[in-house]
Structure 1
Amino acid sequence: MQAGEAGAKPVQGAALPLDNVVNLRDLGGLATRDGRRVRAGKLFRSGNPACASAADLALLRALRLDMVIDFRSSGEKSPQERAFGEAFRWVATPVLEGSMSMAELMPRMLGGSPAQMEAFMLEVYGDFPRKYQAAFGGFLKAAEAGGNLLYHCTAGKDRTGFASLLLLAGLGVDADAIMANYLASNHWNRDFNARMSARAAEGGVDPEVMRPLLEVKAAYLEASLHAIERDYGGMPAYLADVLAVDVRRLREAYLAE
């Protein structure tokens, strides 16, 4: 897999611009190694959709979502999100419980350096396949049902990015296309990242220290891939033997001829 520039314009993944929901993309159109493509209008990834505007909610309802999977922990949520839960089948599948709350991250950033924050993110990605098998395996088992599925975390880049790696690998999407889809978060989250950086700066955090937490890097996803290869013998074995995923069902549900 090749690294892309942080601000590079993505070449894959159809974005759906909303008022209050960042990084919402349809995975439809991504090509598989055997020449098929992911069906459009079936699989969506995004940042937190729960504070959607009225217009956003109308668009999301038009997607006819069967399920929304939320990788955030309880500490990342707010009471204002209740209306979204009443509108959709919203399933909590927490990953990194406590680790991504501002109460946890702020002391790290105030006392840390950019290199330390990057090391933290590499550790997080290395932990994804080891420590969160139940959450990500449950996500993929839900996908096997073949419904219209939206999955998200806060910014739609790290937990959602790893989930996309697993899902797209199971569908047989080319490795370079998976990486390009992952790195595209830097483009779609550009304004969101600027707002988050400015807010953190008001609290005394150096924007350069926060940058490794806001951006995605090829090295992050590669840390997950290295862990899967080293500890489990590669992606096919990890999906089949560790997560018990039926890739045949995934492909029947989500690939077009």
Structure 2
Amino acid sequence: MKHDRILALDGPLNFRDIGGYQNDKGQHVKWNKIYRSDSLSSLSKEDQEKLVERRITVDIDLRSKYEQNSAPDKLWSNVRFVDAHIYSENRKQNKGDNKLYRFVHHIPDMGDNWLGQIYQQVLLNSHSQHEFAKIFAELIELPEEDALVYHCSAGKDRTGMTSALILTALGVDDDTISRDYLLTNELYDFALAKQFPDDNEIASLVSKMNITKGEGPAIRGITETIRQGWGSFDGFFKKELGFSQKDLNRFRKMYLE
């Protein structure tokens, strides 16, 4: 059966399936189960019908409250909205600022990799980890016949980080994860990125990131940090996100074939 990675829609430019990628054991991520996207505020009626046809019943919004209020998702029939705003406004929640924590966990230095630094800070933030755990909980509880989509504004940064975590959990290699991340550069029109006022710190950061194209090394701020800090995704999943090995085994059974 032929599968399309990119779903052509009238509104969103970066709506795609993360299925089909092969992992280190020769298994493949299931198609038609997990989707990633840019903003869903521009969905047309026809777009909504396409999402209903694909049984996408969970919409996880990774954007800040400010962004959600400025451009709310256009929800379709039988979908459940989940707020999982990834970015924290509290710097004290960033474990990566603690030198002892970085030493104990062998957290790598991202050097001049600007986006990689931000991604690492997000990964090590306790608020962000709580939201990532929420996303995995939704995936683990998703009915077999249903599908799920998560998104931010451009579908690059927060969505890219989430995709990297999911694909890493499923055993997909770094190069494949980077290629998936870089697809946004081909699909999204950065010139159309919505700009937010400078008086909101998170919104200002989002505006800057939304007009910045992705770079291959950036997403390694996620994958390398997990590998060097916890040895494998399993350790990060259990120690930082609070799940069990049983949960992880169930997740892999659900989304690999």
Give the TM-score taking structure 2 as reference length.
0.74
Q: Secondary structure at the match of 2:35?
A: strand
Match of 1:133 in 2: 129
How far apart are the structure 2 equivalents of 1:82 and 1:14?
Answer: 22
For residues 214 and 40 of structure 2, the distance between their equivalents in structure 1, rounded to whole angstroms, comes to 20
Instruction: Give the percent of matched residue pairs that are identical in Structure 1 and Structure 2.
Output: 27
Distance 1:97 1:56, change over 3 A: farther
User: What are the Cα deviations for residues 229-255 of structure 1, in whole angstroms up to 9, with x where unaligned?
Assistant: 444344331123221342211121111
Aligned to 1:160: 159
Query: Matched residue pairs, number?
Result: 217
Deviations 1:13-66 (A, max 9, x none): 700011111211111211121111111111100011132011111111111112
CA spacing shift, 1:82–1:162, aligned 2, 3 Å: closer
Q: Map Cα deviations across residues 130-185 of structure 1 (whole Å, 9 max, x no partner).
A: 11110111111211124411011111111111111111111122322112111111
Distance 2:25 2:228 in 1: 26
Aligned counterpart in structure 2 of residue 222 of structure 1, from 215, 220, 228: 220
* 1:25 aligned to which of 16, 19, 23: 16
- Equivalent pair of 2:41/2:72 in contact (CA under 8 Å): yes
- Residues 63-107 of structure 1 show CA distances to partners (whole Å, capped at 9, x for unaligned) of 1112111100111124663642776211001112569xxxxxxxx
Q: Pick the aligned partner of 1:52 from 35, 43, 49.
A: 43
Report what 1:177 is aligned to. 176
Q: Which moved more, 1:212-221 or 1:60-69?
A: 212-221
Partner of 1:194: 191
Secondary structure of residue in 1 paired with 2:226: helix
Question: Do the aligned residues in 1 keep the contact of 2:165 with 2:222 (CA within 8 Å)?
Answer: no
CA distance in 1, matches of 2:54, 2:210: 33
Structure 2: where are the runs of 5+ without partners? 91-111, 198-206
Answer 1 or 2: which has greater helix percent: 1
Which of 245-254 and 136-145 deviates more? 245-254
Partner SS state of residue 96, structure 1: coil
